[in-house]
Structure 1
Amino acid sequence: MGKTLREETVRLGVCYYPEHWEEELWEDDFRRMRELGFSIVRMAEFAWAYMEPEEGTFRFELFDRALDAAHRYGLKVILGTPTATPPAWLTQKYPEVLNGTRDGTLYRHGMRRHTNYNSPVYRELCGRITRKMAEHFKDHPAVVGWQIDNELNCESNEFYSSADHAAFREWLQRKYGSLEALNEAWGAVFWSQTYTEWEQVHLSRPTPANSPNPHLMLDEKRFISDSAIGFARIQADILREVAGGKQWITTNGMFGHLDNHRMTEELLDFYTYDSYPQFAAIHPDEGPNPFLDRMSSWHLSNVRSISPNYGIMEQQSGPGGWVNRMAMPSPKPGQMRLWTYQSIAHGADMVLYFRWRTATFGTEIYWHGINDYHNRPNRRVREAGRIGEELGRVGGRIAQSRYEASIAIVSDYDNAWDGEFDSWHGPLTARSTKAWFKALQREHIAVDSLTLTERTTLDELRRYKALVYPHPAILTEQTAELLRAYAEAGGAVLFGARTGYKDERGHCRMLPMPGFAASLCGVTVEDFTMVNGIAKAPALRWTAEAEDADKMAGGKAGVGGEGSGAGEGDSGEACGEQSGVALSAAAGESITADGFNDILRVESGSVKVLAEYASDYYAGAPALTVNELGEGRVFYYGAAYNEAVVGRLLPLLGLRKTAAGLLTAPPEVELAVRRQAAGEACTFALNYSADTVTLRLHRSAVDLPSGRSLAGDVELEPYGVLVLQEQ
């Protein structure tokens, strides 16, 4: 289940930068934090230039005084190592620490994250400032933990400095052992790319049509991840050695080309995340009924897959934006509270707002915090105080409880990284994942994110009744056998187009597609076509077998044990009985098979065809099949999933609605259950709409934040929150 945060209550706090403010403000700031119910503060993650103003000269007096002041008010402190922002003297004296673009242009001093992970001198200097900080602050009574760096791989997750090219060669030599093995793995015989000397090997560089070797590109992402983990390991090892385990170690963010699961397993005590729901406004959901800030629940599910109970190191509290980009509007009244409980509902047991007071200078003068420049009370301060008061009373009843889900959407790092460059499968995953998440959310069926690694066990899979693994182009025999064992034990596996045709190198297998998944699905792919541009997505025609399956919905109950979503005494009707989505087509309804079309051939008598393509040259060919495998089933859909297709599949999976026995809610409301090991559960109802909605309670319950007893029809205000326990 991963390493997890263990707190006795849900902690609320804030990010604070004492080096930005006159010292006479500190006492009042810390006093007001305590009055708002805050108990923890993060500081120092960008303060290298203050702590080491010139090479080898260290000063910590300002932070000594700040820590002492925080301690006087009972505040605990997280210290960040400041290695994301090296001082100007460092980059001037050691320009080899700078990162570069693919064409070799170096980044320069003036922002942050302009360095590379592989420069020996940068590693040495980062290790030294970490050690000096740890030695100085390890015994301070206010310090409870350390944040390594800040947002690894933020701003840039590609690295092309001279140090990176050299480190890449060393990494490849360890991985492959010889140029012959490297050439074979990269298919270097193609286009005469064969290497005869190690000095010829580089990270990807500018090419005609911007199309480097795809197998190199996959290894490049793996290398970048290993580099970042190696960089973080230097600091984690020092902190453990010096602090002796008295303070926990974490890091924050979640950015590309980094295996956060392995990093947490090997280096951290738990994982933390930076939650900015209005980033969705920058990358809007263009589909019907957009989710916008509600999509943050999916991002939080990804975090929960690393640490079931995690921390939020930065929670959005105000409008956001740099001087020149990323403009986010001001949260409406109630949204800051909604987003806070969104994080908590999905497993956060520590939430720190970014930031205490909006900066009056620098790039982030529009990245607003709780307090405005004038430092006078405002509605965000009042809202934070309400949250602090509520969690002060009920946080202990929530902490260390676990989110419940009976279905998981599966992913893995290799397919994610390969799919960034490979347009024949990568874009499909984002489409299908969003479709499944949105459909499940609207049906109030809780979902987990599950990242498959070589360490994933059958017991981890058996927590779920169904696994959606939409487009795993890279599918190893080991993973296929793990999924076979899961299905044979009663689980449902759902694949999509482009499954299983690549090996771990990114080579296409000389096997009928879907490769090692073929025997699980009982089908092969006899033809295929991309659906975009000039190619119109065909309609689907549902078969009589699909109608029969609809009538038998729930017959295969699945293997879900822990986390199945049905609480004690929960009537838990099957999804097919109350989802509101029927399998049979409505009159005149047309559902299309989007993105890519695998035309399927049935290879086993245990396969049922649920849908056929209704148009184009392959009209009448199977598009959606299900294979009985042991006690379970394996579905294969030859396209990218959309919400309509997911809606037709849900009744077949026998899933239970979240808190179905307790309440019914409209689609605008997210429902989530967190349950203690002893069985006590809290049900979160989060209203993402700007309108009042009505919930129907089937049993009486108490709303923990307000203490109100509720029954029958209950109105929930715009952006409102309920945290319910049955009476």
Structure 2
Amino acid sequence: MAKSIQMEELKLGVCYYPEHWSEELWEDDFRRMREMNITVIRMAEFAWSIFEPEEGQFDFSFFGRALDLAHQYGLGVILGTPTATPPAWLTEKYPEVLNANKDGVLYRHGMRRHNNYSSPIYRQQCEKIVRNMVIAYKDHPAVIGWQIDNELNCHMDVFYAEADHIAFREWLKSRYNTLENLNQAWGTVFWSQTYTEWEQIYLTRNMVNQSPNPHLALDEKRFISANTISFAKLQVDIIRELDPQHWITTNGTFGHIDNHELTDELLDFFSYDSYPQFATIFTGEDEKPLQDRAWSMKLSNVRNMSPNFCVMEQQSGPGGWVDSIGMGTPRPGQIRLWSYQSVLHGTDLLVYFRWRTATFGTEMYWHGINDYHNQPNRRVREVAQVGEEFVKIGRAIAGTTYQADAAILQDYDNMWDGELDEWHGPLHQQSTRAWYKQLQYRHIPTDLVTLRSSTVLEDLSKYKVIIYAHPAIMTDETAELLQTYVSQGGTLLLGARTGYKDLKGHCYMRPFPGAAAELCGVTVEDFTLVKGTVPAAELQWKGKREQLQAGMQTVGFNEVLHVENPEVQVVAEYASEYYAGSPAMTKRAVGQGEVWYYGAAYNEQVVDAIMDEIGLFSPVDDLMEVPSEVELGIRSSNDKAYLFLLNFSDKQAGIKLKKEAKELLSGTTYKNEIKMSPYGVFIFEIDK
């Protein structure tokens, strides 16, 4: 069962770094926080050099004074363990704690996350600082919980220090037991790569054309995840031993970590760092992009780990480092909008980054609520408004959970394998973006669900529709689970390159789509990447909306399908290329449900057509009409439901109510037509 934060009301917090400021500022800062209804602060995650200025010389008095004053002002404190930023004395004395690039060249001191988790010395030093820190602060009345490290695998999610190669070999020995088993799993007979001694094995190194053994590369990511989790466990075990009364979490979803396993095995709930403007940087050539609204998909992923969670860092100003990124100032209303974006998707404790913008260092352009001058500004006023609203609605919303009838399915093996494999990785990104965007624009609340070995039918059966676009790696057990889901009434949508690999990343010697072929009732008789000089094909739609789909084209990959089961219906055919007239999309009734197979990656036009075909509509169509630029979502409990409307547009949005509804933030009961302000927020109480 997923682990959630347990809050009786929505709470507002802020990241605070007392080491950056004169102690003369602390009291005024804490007083003003309370005036803004901020009741939680998070601190200390980068303060190792203050706690231990020299090896073995500990001093916890500085943060002790900060904790005392925070408690005096009724502020609860989340303490971060400082293991993301080892001090200079440590990296200079023990360079073996540093991470390295593929050539073995060490990353030197001066940034953060330059350590490797495998170093025995680094693990010992981390255990020592965490143990002493917990002993120093565990009984302080201001402390409410612990954050392990900070943003595990941020900046760097690959590790090539000597200690990592050694740890990789030990992990492989545990996984495979013998070199014979490993050689079989990695297909090392190919190109004479066979290993005869464990010491011959390394993590990815520089080589001709930079294309590693794909099976080694997949296991490398699995190892990094396991190693990262074991590093976190060292700290969790110490805190559980010494301070069992406080909760433990960590923050951020970064590369090569199974955050679901991390949460299940170690944490009380997962936390996230929400910076919606990151979604505006990487829009590419996307037509009508979701922009900052696309961040809702990131929050949906976190919700799959913890239905109710903490946002440990919520964007509260323009962002950027001295030499990179650079994001503009949020427009009036956007900080509040992004705050409720997080709340809609499950946040019950919202912590802004940061109280005041640093006047020095790498993040002196990563702005917080207050500017350098420490005088009132519109960001302060906007956060204060959120604080007032949390007091008003917080007890009603806390503990309610997001409701969705549709889910986009993913899994770690395919995501990690797809990083290297150009034959399915880009397809996943394309289809996920297209589906999530169109579901958003049609106001169909959607979950992002990670399929795991522990996933059971109950986890899937609550969804009417599941999109599992390109699971190249698929076991027969997964195919059987999906078949049961469909037979009991679900609608499943699959795409090109489904089911042709096993867990080792080997290709099955059976017709595509491999493990899913019988379920879909089709095989693939021909295929091609759509890339370079190979053009996309046009589609001829055979469904209900045939007359509306002229000019529809495929994306990414084309599979020419062959119908194997008489129950299969062809929904679309290719209308160009040498395979014109061949099936491109099919559907098959299985029990009470149906499975669709599309021999390409999904784009927005195809997604819209499918949603029309299967009759996928917004759950509140009978209550209101909402324009596409407004995000719609529902949080509910056993007896209450709350409908969130978030206007991501810089213009007014018109809402047409078909029934009277009470809006919580204003306390007003609305009917007929109403206007939402630019970046406005409504929360309606609705009947379940």
Question: TM-score category by the smaller chain?
Answer: over 0.9
Determine the structure 2 residue equivalent to 1:151.
151
In the alignment, structure 1 residue 712 sits paired with structure 2 residue 667 = no
Determine the structure 2 residue equivalent to 1:206.
206
Report the Cα distance in structure 1 between the residues aligned to 2:491 and 2:328, rounded to whole angstroms: 42
Letter in 2 for 1:676: S
Describe the SS at the equivalent of 1:288. coil
Describe the SS at the equivalent of 2:83. coil
Determine the structure 1 residue equivalent to 2:312.
313
Contact in 2 for aligned 1:317/1:369 (Cα 8 Å): yes
Letter in 1 for 2:578: Y
Alignment match of 1:663 (pick from 624, 629, 647): 624
Contact in 2 for aligned 1:319/1:331 (Cα 8 Å): yes
Letter in 2 for 1:44: A
Describe the SS at the equivalent of 1:305. helix
Letter in 2 for 1:136: A
Describe the SS at the equivalent of 2:230. helix
Q: Give the C-alpha shift of residue 542 in structure 1.
A: 1.4
Report the Cα distance in structure 1 between the residues aligned to 2:19 and 2:622, rounded to whole angstroms: 52
Letter in 2 for 1:339: W
Describe the SS at the equivalent of 1:585. helix
Report the Cα distance in structure 2 between the residues aligned to 1:436 and 1:354, rounded to whole angstroms: 31
Report the Cα distance in structure 1 between the residues aligned to 2:72 and 2:345, rounded to whole angstroms: 33
Report the Cα distance in structure 1 between the residues aligned to 2:672 and 2:577, rounded to whole angstroms: 52
Report the Cα distance in structure 1 between the residues aligned to 2:424 and 2:365, rounded to whole angstroms: 38
Contact in 2 for aligned 1:334/1:719 (Cα 8 Å): yes
Describe the SS at the equivalent of 1:284. coil
Describe the SS at the equivalent of 2:547. coil
Determine the structure 2 residue equivalent to 1:323.
322
Contact in 2 for aligned 1:659/1:673 (Cα 8 Å): no
Contact in 2 for aligned 1:659/1:683 (Cα 8 Å): no
Describe the SS at the equivalent of 2:662. strand
In the alignment, structure 1 residue 694 sits paired with structure 2 residue 654 = yes
Determine the structure 1 residue equivalent to 2:406.
407
Question: What does 1:567-578 align with in structure 2 at a 5 Å threshold?
Answer: none
Determine the structure 1 residue equivalent to 2:645.
685
- Give unmatched runs, 5+ long, in structure 2: none
Letter in 1 for 2:150: N
In the alignment, structure 1 residue 448 sits paired with structure 2 residue 408 = no
Letter in 2 for 1:622: P
Contact in 1 for aligned 2:640/2:686 (Cα 8 Å): no
Letter in 2 for 1:537: A
Contact in 2 for aligned 1:252/1:274 (Cα 8 Å): yes
Report the Cα distance in structure 2 between the residues aligned to 1:660 and 1:151, rounded to whole angstroms: 40
Report the Cα distance in structure 2 between the residues aligned to 1:260 and 1:213, rounded to whole angstroms: 25
Report the Cα distance in structure 2 between the residues aligned to 1:470 and 1:35, rounded to whole angstroms: 49
Question: What does 1:133-172 align with in structure 2 at a 5 Å threshold?
Answer: 133-172=133-172
Contact in 2 for aligned 1:406/1:655 (Cα 8 Å): no
Alignment match of 1:632 (pick from 559, 572, 593): 593
Determine the structure 1 residue equivalent to 2:548.
586
Describe the SS at the equivalent of 2:506. coil
Q: Give the C-alpha shift of residue 285 in structure 1.
A: 4.6
Describe the SS at the equivalent of 2:523. strand
Report the Cα distance in structure 2 between the residues aligned to 1:653 and 1:316, rounded to whole angstroms: 38
Contact in 2 for aligned 1:358/1:366 (Cα 8 Å): yes
Question: What does 1:14-163 align with in structure 2 at a 5 Å threshold?
Answer: 14-163=14-163
Letter in 2 for 1:520: L
Contact in 2 for aligned 1:391/1:705 (Cα 8 Å): no
Report the Cα distance in structure 1 between the residues aligned to 2:649 and 2:570, rounded to whole angstroms: 39
Report the Cα distance in structure 2 between the residues aligned to 1:636 and 1:701, rounded to whole angstroms: 41
Comparing 648-657 with 621-630, which one deviates more in the overlay?
Answer: 648-657
Deviations 1:15-64 (A, max 9, x none): 00001100010000001001001111100000000000001111111111
Letter in 2 for 1:328: M
Report the Cα distance in structure 1 between the residues aligned to 2:39 and 2:625, rounded to whole angstroms: 35
Describe the SS at the equivalent of 1:538. coil
In the alignment, structure 1 residue 475 sits paired with structure 2 residue 474 = yes
Letter in 2 for 1:221: K
Q: Give the C-alpha shift of residue 662 in structure 1.
A: 2.3
Q: Give the C-alpha shift of residue 726 in structure 1.
A: 3.8
Deviations 1:371-410 (A, max 9, x none): 0000000000000000000111111100010101001000
Q: Give the C-alpha shift of residue 104 in structure 1.
A: 1.0
Contact in 1 for aligned 2:651/2:678 (Cα 8 Å): yes
Report the Cα distance in structure 1 between the residues aligned to 2:637 and 2:622, rounded to whole angstroms: 18
CA pair 53-301 structure 1, distance change in 2 beyond 3 A: same
Determine the structure 1 residue equivalent to 2:610.
649
Contact in 2 for aligned 1:693/1:717 (Cα 8 Å): yes
Determine the structure 2 residue equivalent to 1:558.
none
Deviations 1:444-464 (A, max 9, x none): 111100100000010010010
Letter in 2 for 1:692: Q
Letter in 1 for 2:666: S
Determine the structure 1 residue equivalent to 2:501.
502
Letter in 2 for 1:133: M
Q: Give the C-alpha shift of residue 75 in structure 1.
A: 0.7
Aligned residues: 687
Contact in 1 for aligned 2:442/2:617 (Cα 8 Å): no
Report the Cα distance in structure 1 between the residues aligned to 2:66 and 2:56, rounded to whole angstroms: 23
Report the Cα distance in structure 1 between the residues aligned to 2:342 and 2:129, rounded to whole angstroms: 33
Report the Cα distance in structure 2 between the residues aligned to 1:726 and 1:157, rounded to whole angstroms: 44
Letter in 1 for 2:548: A
